[in-house]
A and B are shown apart, each in its own frame.
Chain A
Amino acid sequence: MKYALYLGCAIPIKYPGFEATTRLVCERLGIELVDLPFACCPPGTSMKMVHYDSWLVLAARNLCVAEEAGLDVLTLCSGCVNTLKEANTILKKQDARRRKVNRVLEDHGRHFAGTIEVTHILDVLYQDAVVEKIVRKMEREVPLRVGCHYGCHYFRPPKYMYPEELSPSESYVPVKMDHLLSIIGVEPTEYSRKFLCCGSPLGANMDQDAGYAITRQKLGHIHDRNIQALSVICPSCFEQFDMGQVVLSRKFKDNRKVPVFYLTQLIGLALGMKYRELGLDVHRVKSRKLLEEIGMA
């Protein structure tokens, strides 16, 4: 099992702990990762909104880099998977757009051919062969009530993200993270507004307070269900919940906090990895006490 590792920007720059953990977890599970000269995805929340053609060409360049190496792309972020999967779908299906993009890329010796797929760490870990390895290599269970947050861009709009799997009128309801975590002894816990936005793009682009107002609503529903930890698969969602709780607790004098984990950190815990090794020491909302309660710190 071999992929081109697409790091994106937020993970290697803001949350290198997720990168380190993911590399270690993949190594233990026999997933080979290859580093290639990728650039920014670029984000659907910024570049695409401002200049669509630039967004598509820069995304196509990343896809070409992976095509040249003959490898599928493994992303670690809901935003990156959104951009690269959507661009891949569009360029494979729409001849006029592909021709236009290739005219720009060809000056740089690149050509989009449509020979690879784009996937996300959650989808890679969810494969039968990997799940079997997790079960075999697991050293301990992680008995926590966890709320999963997938990040809108991981699965919407389904017409671009799952073009072959769904009819145009169907919605996609993601379940893989809940299922995967139940394998390592987690109790995946439902909560209201689970599939709605964390607030991040609104805060990043326009209005920080409005973004955090959305986060606060979600956190309220999370506390209602006595959820002990959150699991995310996107650095922007992570920041919104982790930093967001620090900001919100100051503003509203509310001390309830729920630690946030990046998915591979929870898998790493089950594989026997330690607090520092997982980079949990740099999270704003600390998880040490919680992990001590379940004998894991």
Chain B
Amino acid sequence: MTTLRIWKHFPREDLYECYQCARCTGSCPAMEVAPAIGPRETILKCLNLGHQDVVEDERLWLCCTCNVCEDRCPQKIPISDLLVALRNSAARRGNIPARLVLAVELLAKTGRSMIVHQLDEMRAHHGLAPLPPAPIEEIRELLSKTGFREVIEF
């Protein structure tokens, strides 16, 4: 059920415009250094095998989110939106990199995506007052209403 929802968020027909020219994959910095799937291959798999195959593959996350692929695509396939839809779907199935889970958990718990020791001292070193606390109650209530718990417990 959850896997089908993706095409509500991304018009599948857009993918038919793809030439499979690989200009996107050829420009992709992640493909050059890691065993990523690459935008061209991702689109081909979505069309031929259905996106199920893609969202179960953890290599889906090997990406810089730099959007060079979409920028250079001669057909202007909205690749950035496709990748968001696919990863959202993957996350619902529990396919999320561990580091990313920690990052969004921290955000949901503290209202910020970063944490350091001795923050006040560090800020004082630069002549700055302590950072006011984040509006964490409001953030958590908003996240409860948006259905964030479908993906992450917090």
Contact = CB atoms under 8 A, between A and B. Distances in A.
A37 B88 contact: no
Contacts of A217: 32-33
B73 to A, nearest CB: 10
Question: Which one of A46, A195, A200 has the highest number of Cβ atoms from chain B below 10 Å of its Cβ?
Answer: A46
Contacts of A14: 114, 116
B100 A108 contact: no
B52 to A, nearest CB: 19
B136 to A, nearest CB: 8
Contact of A152 (B68, B147, B148): B68
Contacts of A202: 29-30, 33-34, 62-64
A171 interface: yes
Given A46-B104, A205-B61, A16 B126 contact: yes
Contacts of B2: none
A207 B100 CA distance: 11
A13 B104 contact: no
A19 interface: yes
B138 A54 contact: no
B150 A51 contact: yes
B120 to A, nearest CB: 10
B30 A54 contact: no
A54 B66 contact: no
B113 A197 contact: no
Nearest to A167: B76
B148 to A, nearest CB: 4
Interface string B90-133: 01000011011001100100011111100100110111100110
Residues of B in contact with A, size category: 35 or more
B128 A9 contact: no
B18 to A, nearest CB: 15
Given A16-B126, A171-B71, A204 B139 contact: no
B82 to A, nearest CB: 12
B65 interface: yes
**Is chain A's interface secondary structure helix, strand, loop, or mixed overall?**
helix
A13 B112 CA distance: 9
A115 to B, nearest CB: 21
Contacts of B30: 202, 210, 214
Given A46-B104, A47-B107, A156-B66, A20 B29 contact: no
B51 interface: no
B37 to A, nearest CB: 13
Contact of A48 (B84, B135, B141): B84
A150 to B, nearest CB: 11
A160 to B, nearest CB: 9
A50 B66 contact: no
B61 A51 contact: no
A32 B59 CA distance: 45
A168 B146 contact: no
Contact of B76 (A108, A168, A201, A214): A168
Contacts of B131: 12-13
A157 B66 CA distance: 8
A42 interface: yes
13 contacts: A13-B112, A16-B125, A37-B132, A39-B134, A39-B139, A46-B103, A46-B107, A47-B107, A157-B71, A197-B29, A199-B29, A202-B64, A206-B99
Given A14-B116, A50-B87, 15 more contacts: A10-B113, A13-B115, A13-B116, A39-B111, A40-B111, A46-B107, A49-B84, A50-B152, A57-B145, A157-B67, A169-B76, A202-B30, A202-B34, A210-B30, A213-B34
Closest 5 CB pairs of A and B: A152-B66, A213-B33, A156-B67, A210-B34, A20-B126
Interface of B: 9, 29-30, 32-34, 61-68, 70-72, 76, 78, 80, 83-85, 87-88, 91, 96-97, 99-100, 103-104, 107, 111-116, 119, 122-123, 125-128, 131-132, 134-136, 138-139, 141-143, 145-148, 150-152
